[in-house]
């Protein structure tokens, strides 16, 4: 089936006498049994559900839906994008192992790698993934994982996934990609040979800024290990949030197509404005679009405080990917935990603004940003 069709038809078939068109919300902490023999059958594999932390039809539906869109054999849902990322890491590495990661990953991921995993005895080397030789030179005998993002945050560098997979396969190292910004509509890293693909489903998969969830897809054995980490560390997703995310996925293709179109128009318009020093927007991602995020660096003549105060109906938020156009301030939100040296290396300063483009009329979006820029320079 085409992606548009697959994204709509992801519901589990009803197992009940009442044939609900959409999967019901199994808002229960536990499942009941008619006998001790039936209870024992759960442990023998005869039934699927015991306790919602260990599994629930709604969370299973979400994991399977995203795996289907990524064309991966398995998927598991978790409480957030970061918990899905952590589960993916722990499915591959243990104390004494080493990870090579792109130096421009999301700030929350950087913290997990540089602090939480470090405390568990797992070391990470951060290098520029723009240069293949830097990746290769960072690999050690105990390197078990290469990690990057398909489209980086906030400067929208598009990863060379084929080159990364080639290095991983040559060295016998697993690869993992955060595909949140691209979504499986634009890129499907698993089809390129990536072992694990993770999403902050809070973003485009859910799509309406009303849920926090994550999904990890990929190789069956690794996803099953990750599932065990999610269960045993208590980072499972609630049934209702899984249901909301699945509902959002049904309109993913429509939203992403529209948002990418609007983002491309906005990026083109802002390149010509005197209040903008640099526009960051991918040149090539997919024939289906270039993504729905535009990052800009304001010119020296624009006051960034005044700019943010002049945005009108465009909200300032610490996240992205809802149907409304929003802006975020990477220096003060997503990347605030980075050292001054790391921020300078990445080019993140007080004039960098990340724009998450929504589904509104593109002319209205452009007009609002041009108005804010003019007021920031007055």
Look at residue 106 and tell me whether its pLDDT is greater than 90.
Answer: yes
For the ranges 2-11, 110-119, 192-201, 260-269, the lowest mean pLDDT is seen at 2-11
CB 117, CB 99: distance < 8 Å: yes
Mean pLDDT, range 126-135, rounded to an integer: 96
In this predicted model, which residue has the larger pLDDT, 339 or 305? 305
Residues of the chain with CATH 3.40.640.10: 36-250
Q: How far apart are CA 363 and CA 139, in angstroms?
A: 48
Q: In this predicted structure, what is the pLDDT of residue 333?
A: 86
Q: Domain 252-376, what fold? A: 3.90.1150
Name the average pLDDT for the chain: 95
Q: In this predicted structure, what is the pLDDT of residue 60?
A: 96
Q: Tell me the two tokens of residue 124.
A: 């990470």
Residues of the chain with CATH 3.90.1150.10: 252-376
Q: In this predicted structure, what is the pLDDT of residue 14?
A: 67
Our CA angle for 145, 146, 148, nearest 5°, is 135
Per-residue pLDDT tens digits for 72-89: 999 999 999 999 999 999
CB 91, CB 196: distance < 8 Å: yes
Look at residue 257 and tell me whether its pLDDT is greater than 80.
Answer: yes
Look at residue 221 and tell me whether its pLDDT is greater than 90.
Answer: yes
Q: What percent of the chain has pLDDT over 70?
A: 99
Mean pLDDT, range 46-53, rounded to an integer: 90
Look at residue 17 and tell me whether its pLDDT is greater than 80.
Answer: no
The yes or no reply on domain 36-250 and CATH 3.40.640.10 is yes
């Amino acid at each position: 089936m085409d992606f548009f069709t697959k994204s709509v038809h992801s519901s589990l078939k009803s197992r009940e006498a009442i044939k609900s068109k959409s999967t019901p919300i199994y808002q229960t902490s536990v499942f009941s049994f008619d006998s001790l023999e039936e209870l024992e059958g759960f442990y023998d594999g005869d039934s699927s559900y015991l306790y919602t932390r260990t599994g629930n039809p709604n969370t299973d539906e979400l994991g399977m839906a995203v795996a289907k869109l990524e064309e991966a054999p398995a998927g598991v849902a978790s409480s957030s994008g970061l918990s899905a990322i952590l589960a993916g890491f722990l499915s591959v590495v243990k104390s004494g192992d080493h990870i090579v990661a792109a130096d421009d990953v999301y700030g929350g991921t950087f913290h997990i790698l540089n602090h939480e995993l470090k405390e568990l005895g797992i070391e990470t080397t951060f290098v520029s993934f723009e240069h293949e030789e830097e990746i290769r030179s960072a690999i050690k005998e105990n390197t078990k994982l290469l990690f990057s993002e398909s489209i980086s945050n906030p400067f929208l560098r598009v990863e060379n996934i084929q080159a990364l997979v080639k290095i991983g396969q040559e060295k016998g190292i697993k690869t993992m990609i955060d595909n949140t910004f691209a979504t499986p509509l634009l890129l499907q890293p698993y089809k390129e040979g990536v072992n694990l693909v993770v999403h902050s489903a809070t973003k485009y998969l859910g799509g309406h800024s009303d849920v926090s969830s994550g999904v990890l897809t990929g190789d069956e054995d690794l996803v099953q290990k990750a599932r065990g980490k999610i269960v045993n560390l208590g980072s499972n997703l609630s049934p209702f949030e899984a249901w909301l995310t699945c509902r959002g996925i049904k309109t993913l293709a429509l939203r992403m197509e529209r948002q990418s179109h609007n983002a491309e128009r906005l990026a083109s318009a802002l390149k010509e404005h005197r209040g903008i020093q640099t526009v960051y927007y991918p040149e090539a991602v997919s024939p289906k679009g270039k993504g729905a995020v535009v990052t800009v660096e304001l010119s020296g003549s624009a006051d960034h405080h005044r700019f943010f105060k002049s945005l009108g109906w465009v909200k300032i938020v610490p996240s992205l990917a809802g149907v409304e156009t929003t802006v975020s301030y990477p220096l003060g939100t997503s990347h605030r935990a980075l050292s001054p040296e790391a921020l300078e290396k990445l080019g993140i300063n007080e004039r960098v603004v990340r724009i998450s483009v929504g589904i509104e009329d593109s002319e209205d979006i452009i007009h609002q940003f041009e108005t804010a820029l003019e007021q920031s320079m007055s």
